Amino acid sequence: MQRTTTAVLVTVLLVAGSVGGVMALAPGAAPVGDTERQQSACDYQSLFDETIGSVVSVRTSSGQGSGFVYDAANATDTNATGDTYVVTNAHVVSGASEVEVEFDDGEFQSGSVVGRSAYADLAVVNVSDAPAGTTALSLADADPQRGERVAALGNPLGLEETITHGIVSGLNRTLPTQLGFEIPNVVQTDAPISPGNSGGPLVNCDGEVVGVNTAGIAQQGAENIGFAVSPSVVERVVPELVADGEFDYPFLGVRTTPVSPAIADANDLNRTAGLAVVSVLEDGPSADALQGATEIETVGDRSVPLGGDVILAIDGQQLRSGETLGTYLLTETQPGDTVDLTVLRDGEVRRVEVTVGERPGPMGA
């Protein structure tokens, strides 16, 4: 269960798979750092010229999206015959095994889908005969910062070679999907992202990929709210897609909700911290370690879990939201790992261990 502001996005998401300048210093001024300089000047014309050659259009029988050439030099190639890889969204390629890739020079090539992860909305396509001189974009070493200038590249509404710009508006968002699950650790931006942009890169002023565009909001009153899969998630998921054709998504098998004042009051808790365990999947990874709510009470227009554990931390990291838990599991663990959970149970703080499982495939994916 997520906060209300996140949950309302479920009905308004659009998935797009269907259709350096130099700044002069004032006399006597101290030099500025790289980050400050980047925020003060971003040459979007040069940025476009330097990056657009690595951006492609990805087409299937059911729609069209975008993608970008990815450097897979450090991944073990077991599924593909060529050495040019394109990263896009899983929802762009959908269930296709073969797609059509159009490069910036207008050349079309057949591409094979070597791996996809619906839960991360990422897919990798291999092209065995890419145009000469095709280069890969670099992935940023870390997630971007709020306020950082960015540009979204792709083919919105089929309009090729398009760039829009803005800033990073928020970090560590949880993005609901039409398949009923959520994507953690998503970057929010006000750079316009429209249908057809999905799978294209969100880049910083140095041309590094700081996100894979995945969705925008179409709702009256919502202006320029878009989302991109973060580089830390790309770095975690994509190499495994290249090497193995799949990604084993970490899974605890619990449904949680942040401890709100209403939940704290109903359960006689002395603090609003951690995640209340609403339910535990029978025979799931946490079945023998965690306890879910014993009943659900309606308070006003809200459902409030009664009883059950409250997860306060995972491996010593405090949990303030479901986003924190989802991001930690995805970026720091893998199935088979043992995590240490600090829980509040019957008024006492205790520690329990859970062996992380593999999340079952989503229904309808």
Residues assigned a catalytic role: 91, 121, 198
Residues sharing a CB contact under 8 Å with residue 45, sequence separation 6 or more, in sequence order: none
- Read off the tokens for 69: 């050439």
| DSSP state letter for 204 | E
Residues 67 and 90: their CA atoms lie apart, in Å, by: 11
Residue type at 14 in one-letter notation: L
**Distance from CA of residue 94 to its chain's centroid?**
17
Nearest to 13 by CA among 175, 128, 165: 175
Residue type at 306 in one-letter notation: L
91, HSE (Cβ side, Cα atoms, 13 Å): 27
Rounded to a whole number of angstroms, the distance between the first and last alpha carbons of the chain is: 21
220: helix, strand or coil? coil
Nearest to 155 by CA among 98, 113, 101: 101
